[in-house]
Amino acid sequence: MTGEARPLVIVLGPTGVGKTSLAIKLAQSLGGEIVGADSRQIYQRMDIGTAKPTAAQQAVVPHHLIDIVAPDYSLSLAEYQDAAYRCIDDLHQRGALPLLVGGSGQYISAVEEGWSIPRVPPNPEIRAELEAYVASHSPVALHERLRSVDPLSAERIHPNNTRRVIRALEVQIVSGKPISELQRKRPPTYRIIRLGLALPRSSLYPRVDRRVDEMFAAGFVAEVQGLLDMGYNRFLPSMSGLGYLEIAGHLLDDIPLEQAIERTKFSTHEFIRQQDVWFRGHDNGILWHNVEDLDSDALTQTLRKWLARGD
């Protein structure tokens, strides 16, 4: 797999839709390896709540960009993008087909669209000041502050996405330039096919609710307790993953477990809606497949033909 038209298969979709199992089947059939595009599966010791591929699944097909940082490390989008490009290029050099798999829209878009990401390291002092501003005012007030210096980013970022609003302001303060100006795109030379997995929400919500119940049955509470016992603060970015903050509230604030479970399910539904919005806004030719009607063998043959054409 050399030359300018190096292939990249992207498998994306909302959480709980079945991306991992399909990607493993495709990788087995097509000589591929999986490059993770999940902003929570990058963390070590966070396995159950992130629905990380099991050891058995990882033994069947090699997985990359999973378990790469400690829970208290703040991996920047630029660092992820660099790691993904290195991994994809290494797979091409070894003659393996890279499959970029996940539901983190920013990760996928940064790779496939070639975002030029500002190399501005985190500034704890600025972040603390902005977090204090949110606490004393509101997320909307902070968003208006962003709008005054970077209207384009303010249009792109939802007011409730405080983390991204803070990052945009941080970059503007440190660099003196709006983050939107620094985020020019230089798409890679990969030949890309984008496979989207979907389910009606009437089917997907009960499915993820069952998965949440299975996570709790598998020891999710013990996993979070272990992280807290190791000194990881519940307000770390890693702990903002679905369920972690809710369980921390159960363990530290005496929130009833049943309430924590219900909050986790509600948060998961909300996250699915956010994923849908992202994928609709960054649809560069996604070939959507309803999981209820998906024929994985037929899809494999379609990919074989696509790889053979080389167009």
* pLDDT for 257: 98
Which pLDDT band holds residue 4 (cuts at 50, 70, 90)?
A: low
E-assigned strand segments in 65-122: 97-102
Report whether 224 contacts 240 (CB < 8 A). Answer: no
Report whether 99 contacts 23 (CB < 8 A). Answer: yes
Q: Give the mean pLDDT of the chain.
A: 95
Q: 100 has which bridge partners?
A: 10, 35
Distance between first and last Cα of the chain: 13
What is the CATH code for 7-117+184-309?
3.40.50.300
* pLDDT for 310: 79
Q: 8 has which bridge partners?
A: 192
Separation in Å, CA 132 to CA 85, 101, 123, 137, 250: 36, 36, 14, 8, 25
Report whether 220 contacts 257 (CB < 8 A). Answer: no
Residues of the chain with CATH 3.40.50.300: 7-117+184-309
Report whether 50 contacts 40 (CB < 8 A). Answer: yes
Structural tokens at position 20: 């991992």
Report the distance separating Cα 69 and Cα 259, nearest Å: 30
Q: Is the dihedral of CA 76, 78, 84, 89 positive or negative?
A: negative
* pLDDT for 174: 95
Report the distance separating Cα 181 and Cα 123, nearest Å: 20
CA angle 204, 208, 212 (to 5 degrees): 170
* pTM across the whole model: 0.85
Q: Tens digits of per-residue pLDDT, 212-246? A: 999 999 999 999 999 999 999 999 999 999 999 99
Which pLDDT band holds residue 39 (cuts at 50, 70, 90)?
A: very high
CA dihedral angle for residue 299, residue 67, residue 105, residue 109, rounded to 10 degrees: -90
Which fold does the domain 124-182 belong to in CATH? Answer: Histone, subunit A (1.10.20)
3-state SS class at 191? strand
Whole-angstrom Cα Rg for the chain? 20
Structural tokens at position 304: 């074989």
Give the phi and the psi of residue 220 in degrees, each rounded to 5.
-60, -40
Report whether 51 contacts 78 (CB < 8 A). Answer: no
Cβ atoms within 10 Å of 307's Cβ, excluding its own? 16
Q: Tens digits of per-residue pLDDT, 45-104? A: 999 999 999 999 999 999 999 999 999 999 989 999 999 999 999 999 999 999 999 999
Residues of the chain with CATH 1.10.20.140: 124-182
Which pLDDT band holds residue 2 (cuts at 50, 70, 90)?
A: very low
